[in-house]
Amino acid sequence: MMRSKFDEQLAQLNDLLVEMGTLAVDAIYLISRALVEQNVELADQAIAIEEDIDQKETEIEALCLKLLLQQQPVARDLRMISSALKMITDMERIGDQAADISEITKYLAEEPYIKKLEHIPQMAEATAHMVKGSIEAFVKRDLALAKSIAEYDDVVDNLFDEIKDELIELIRVDSANGKQAIDLLMIAKYFERIGDHAVNICEWVEFGITGSHDKY
């Protein structure tokens, strides 16, 4: 009886993590669109999602503590719950970074771009893929998926390097481009960090499954 109740609560934990991950992915897609379209309303929607993400974090923390205190989980279950607690910290940071990008996007909406945005939306797409995949790896207990998602961070890092090189060249050509170039570089940096948080989630998935926590 106790075990079936425990399994029910573990399933609820999975559902809440998927909901939190979906909110983070929604925020990434919203800010990508807001940036390309210079749409302040979409940027505000992404900022609002941060509050929903924070709320989910609180719900998941409460459920994890209930599982730890009431159910006295055995080793593997204990690792999964501990992993979930670590993962939600990374997802909460993803929400914060999405909101930070949104604030810069609102500021940039008032002026024409110094170049067509190509690689930043690609970074957004890549990080959304990573966040979705990392949560899926946790829910499915899929170690191979976690490793492949962590390795996908190279795509994000390479895009960041391309953006940085392009912006440096734009500043070199005309120093008047400097202010906006720095803002765009900051946005790219936030996306790079989102990718890093997705890698962290993958590492906690590995810990939950194997008991080891290797840096990819």
pLDDT digits (tens, 9 = 90+) for 59-110: 999 999 999 888 777 888 889 899 999 999 999 999 999 999 999 999 999 9
- Helix, strand, coil share (%) of the chain residues, nearest 5: 90, 0, 10
How long is the chain? 216
**Residue 201 CB neighbours (<10 A):** 29
pLDDT, tens digit, for every residue of 151-201? 999 999 999 999 999 999 999 999 999 999 999 999 999 999 999 999 999
What is the CATH code of the structural domain delimited by 2-210? 1.20.58.220
The predicted-structure confidence for 90-104, as pLDDT tens digits, reads as follows 999 999 999 999 999
User: Rounded to a whole number, what is the distance in angstroms from the first to the last CA of the chain?
Assistant: 39
